[in-house]
Amino acid sequence: MKLITLLSNTSSALALLTLASLTGIAQAQTAAELAAMTDAERIKLSEKTEVWEPVPAIVTAAPQTAPSDALVLLDTNLSQWQSINGGKAPWSIQDGVLTVTPGSGDITSTASFCDIQLHMEWRTPAAFGDKKGQLRNNSGIFLQQRYEIQILDSYNNPTYPNGQAASVYKQTIPLVNASRAPGEWQTYDIIYRAPRFSGEQLISPGYITVLHNGVLVQNHVEIQGTTEWIGAPKYQAHGCAPLQLQDHGDAVSFRNIWVRSL
Ligand code: MG
């Protein structure tokens, strides 16, 4: 906000003091000093807190499509993925839909990432038989191969909430259950800040924000360490690392995965 605009609306000393304290500008100036200045002098002062660089790059985005500066990880082929055991990703892909081949093992991105924005779409099978709880079509996306955001059919399927869809597995329960019915496509939009290490020591934990089907379910929550099935989370120093999709023995499908390094 330009100071001159506010000044034209009010001349009270209180407003000047409030503005000065809010913006951090002119802390050395008293209200009287500010009031005594010319408009040009006040504008000059206001410019001290304007930050002009870096100028954010212009990008374009339409709903559900990758922004122009994103790396597309999954569209019609598996060239960006490999088996966790090395070699070709052993899952099936048809018309842009990737499906877990149960029992074949997890797959990872060929590229490594640190801080990212990630978009992905996933779908659990419409028919689930008598599967329930954690066994009702489970998968997951691991950030940096360590920190799992759970993928699960959590539509009318009670389980421990810190293990339901969109949980930071065994750490943070989602704020709400935004799950769609099995067989429907669902989206995760994830903003991830990787943990920082100095040597072996943790300097700052990771943080994650997740929107599930457009609904905020994880609001900049702290990641406590690796998402363990058994035992407590722990941190062990690491650098940038791939994304990993989980083979939990269920034919969960994926499409339209893209990532922006931050
Ligand atoms: Mg899982």
- List the domain boundaries for the chain: 3-47, 71-261
The pTM score is 0.81
140 C-alpha vs ligand 1 centroid, how far in Å? 4
153 C-alpha vs ligand 1 centroid, how far in Å? 10
5 C-alpha vs ligand 1 centroid, how far in Å? 54
92 C-alpha vs ligand 1 centroid, how far in Å? 19
Class at the top of the CATH hierarchy for domain 71-261: mainly beta
246 C-alpha vs ligand 1 centroid, how far in Å? 6
pLDDT of residue 94: 95
61 token code pair: 């985005």
90 C-alpha vs ligand 1 centroid, how far in Å? 18
pLDDT of residue 27: 54
pLDDT of residue 45: 87
139 C-alpha vs ligand 1 centroid, how far in Å? 4
**Per-residue pLDDT at 171 exceeds 70:** yes
Name the band, by pLDDT with cuts 50, 70 and 90, for residue 3.
Answer: very low
Over residues 45-84, the pLDDT tens digits come to: 888 878 887 776 655 555 578 999 999 999 999 999 999 9
84 C-alpha vs ligand 1 centroid, how far in Å? 16
34 C-alpha vs ligand 1 centroid, how far in Å? 60
Over residues 76-112, the pLDDT tens digits come to: 999 999 999 989 999 999 999 999 999 999 999 999 9
CA distances from 194 to 18, 146, 228, 242, 261 (A): 37, 11, 18, 12, 11
